[in-house]
Amino acid sequence: MAGAVVMLGGADDSPAGRLVWRARAAGAVDSVNALIGLGVRPVVVASPSFEWLPPGLSVVCEPDGPGAFHFGQSLSALLAGYRLDRVIYLGGGSIPLLTREHLAGLLALLDGAGESPLVVTNNLHSADWFGLNRAELMVGTIAGADRDNAVPWLLREAGFVVKDRVFPPQLDLDIDTPTDLALASLHGGVGPEMRKVIQDERDLLGRVPTDRIAKVLGAYGSQIALFGRVPPGAWDALSRATSVWIRVYSEERGMVASGRVARGEVISLPGVLMDEIGPSGFFELLAGMVDAAIIDSRVLMAHRRIWPVPGDRFASDLLMPDWVSEPWLRRFTDAAAEASIPVLLGGHNVVSVGLYILASKVGRLNGS
């Protein structure tokens, strides 16, 4: 019988940070309910606290230990301690659009491998979830991973077979920012607990202009700009689903995995332009060229050699400069909020899986 490990970290103590944490906790509960419904046992939940879990849920609670948290050491200890061999690992809020049927398909892939070690994940280079067959052979490698994103890559480097991108790309969304939650709402395929969060926070999420962006994308002959770590497949999907002119500046893909962020080597051409004319000048110039813009703002932050606290980043995604304390990000957010065109801000998801979701939404609106 398969087991599962679900990990959820603590909340950032800011209004925008609490919003993201609530969404991630709700997504974790939806995932746990789906796993239990499939007969997965045990479901081990690791977290600093457990007040977010509904009473009576059939899970094993493992509180985070004292001292500094290390992802790989914590997960490998849980896998070994519970003797989990065939197992699904989920970060909180990592699979809000995967249904119970999708999870059943994931388990079937692991079953089909028999005694051959197999890793199944959404993204080899930056995983949000993964399934393991013969996990007892992998715990030594997993122990060295600082983050969950790196586990499948490390396992492949160690010689294990890895299958990724086994589901449609729009289902790869994980909840890292308020924009991701707004995109999940636009898609509509979330579980009941996350749906409650979206309903409760509809006024705050309404600041994220996903609907306005979708309207531009649905208008024949309109123009949109994409900036950041834009993968070719996502851009192509948007192009195929719409009849708009798309300006793309794709830059700094792999900036985290390659170490360029840590070494201070990120250079963004839009960032250089903003250095010269300021964020307000940039958006004024952009508004004369396109009808909307989607921006992976983390590239711009890395270009500026800043990495604001989560609450600042999330408030920027909500276009709420008054909630942002970092000076440059506050100016940038204010300029984006005051732009005469809709501007969608976020992390990597906004220009990757988010484009697939927008393409699907526009396709549904157009009846295709």
Binned at pLDDT 50, 70 and 90, residue 258 comes out as confident
Binned at pLDDT 50, 70 and 90, residue 125 comes out as confident
Q: How far apart are alpha carbons 93 and 128 in whole angstroms?
A: 9
Share of the chain above pLDDT 90, in %: 88
pLDDT of residue 58: 93
Binned at pLDDT 50, 70 and 90, residue 1 comes out as low
Q: Look up residue 265 and give its two tokens.
A: 């080597």
- Beta carbons of 146 and 74 less than 8 angstroms apart: no
Arithmetic mean of pLDDT, 192-205: 96
pLDDT of residue 140: 96
Residue 232 CB neighbour total at 10 angstroms: 10
CATH assignment, 3-172: 3.90.550.10
- Beta carbons of 143 and 153 less than 8 angstroms apart: no
pLDDT digits (tens, 9 = 90+) for 216-251: 999 999 999 999 999 999 999 999 999 999 999 999
pLDDT of residue 368: 54
Arithmetic mean of pLDDT, 167-173: 91
Whole-structure pTM value: 0.93
Binned at pLDDT 50, 70 and 90, residue 367 comes out as low
3-state DSSP percent of the chain in helix, strand and coil, to 5: 50, 15, 40
pLDDT digits (tens, 9 = 90+) for 279-334: 999 999 999 999 999 999 999 999 999 999 999 999 999 999 999 999 999 999 99
Domain boundaries, the chain: 3-172, 208-365
Residue 184: name the closest of 104, 294, 94 by CA. Answer: 94
Beta-carbon contacts of residue 81 (< 8 Å; ≥ 6 apart): none
pLDDT at 102 over 70: yes
Q: How far apart are alpha carbons 74 and 6 in whole angstroms?
A: 12
Q: Strand pairing partners for 120? A: 131, 163
pLDDT of residue 365: 57
pLDDT digits (tens, 9 = 90+) for 40-80: 999 999 999 999 999 989 999 999 877 788 999 999 999 99
Q: Look up residue 169 and give its two tokens.
A: 């790309």
pLDDT of residue 66: 77
The rounded mean pLDDT for the chain is 94
pLDDT of residue 323: 97
- Beta carbons of 61 and 7 less than 8 angstroms apart: no
